[in-house]
Amino acid sequence: MRRTRNNYAIPFFKTLCLALFIALLNGFVNPRAEAGSGQDLSVLIDGIQAKYSRMKGLSADFQQLYTGKDGRTIRESGRLLLKRPGKARWEYTSPEPKLFLSDGKNVYFYVFGERHAAKSSIRASVDPQIPFLFLLGKGNLRRDFSRIEMVADEAPVGAGNRLLRLFPKRAPEDFKQLIVEVDPNSFEVRRLVIFERNGARMDFLLSNLQENHVAADSEFQFNPPQGVTIRQQ
């Protein structure tokens, strides 16, 4: 269940099967090849691999939109920091302040004003932010996905961007597929969409990206406010 004051529950996904970017950041070998109609897919994946495998960290603004199978939506926004290896800070500012933080081993979740914060290991976490912990990682595209294709039935958020649809070989029961939106010129990942088998989806949109922004390690350390206790999940 989603940890928020909102009573509308959002199903989460298993960590290992959400490692989208583990697979994306390892692939083919010619990222600067000309993109023809039969080569677009390979060129896009090569470009993403070449960009993010070299990156030590990044920062971005994000919008997070959950759309339930009944059509109800929940929209949130804030600021994201990532740092190799496995460090992440999601600082939500709207509609309520809360913090999702990974120090590389454990993840913490805290809604400001509450008396308790949650803690779990990265391996045990089922939060939808987990795929972004692997944005600067490595993986094997052919091993982790049975099929990758260009998307024709959904429009990109950004004009000129390309969409890739990925089908994992192994996935939890409620996990169906992923869509990645990428700028074909810069190879920046601008959006990630996670689909559930029941029809719900989670969109993450990134903007104001700063590549190789290396935040201080202190940004990824959770220091609970006075009077707040940490509960192991």
Q: For 88-102, what is each residue's pLDDT tens digit? A: 899 999 999 999 998
Locate all alpha helices (DSSP H) within 25-168, ordered by sequence: 40-52, 141-144
CB atoms within 10 A of CB 197: 14
Residue 17, pLDDT score? 32
**φ, ψ of residue 195 in degrees (nearest 5):** -110, 135
Residue 39, pLDDT score? 61
Residue 197, pLDDT score? 79
Q: For 99-126, what is each residue's pLDDT tens digit? A: 999 898 888 999 999 999 999 887 655 5
Considering only the top CATH level, what class is 16-232?
mainly beta
Question: Taken in order 191, 148, 85, 211, is the CA torsion positive or negative?
Answer: negative
Looking at residue 222, the DSSP 8-state letter turns out to be -
- Domain borders along the chain are 16-232
Neighbour-count burial for 125-157, b at 16+ CB within 10 Å, e otherwise: bebbbbbbbbbbbebebeebbeebeeeeeeebe
Cα 193 versus chain centre, distance: 9
Q: Which residues of the chain have pLDDT under 70?
A: 1-39, 123-145, 170-175
Residues 6+ apart with CB under 8 A from 6: 74
Residue 216, pLDDT score? 96
User: What is the bridge-based pairing of β-strands 201-211 and 57-67?
Assistant: antiparallel
Residue 125, pLDDT score? 53
Residue 12, pLDDT score? 32
pTM: 0.75
List the beta bridge partners of residue 121.
106
Q: Position of tokens 């030590």? A: 56
Whole-number Å distance between alpha carbons of 79 and 210: 12
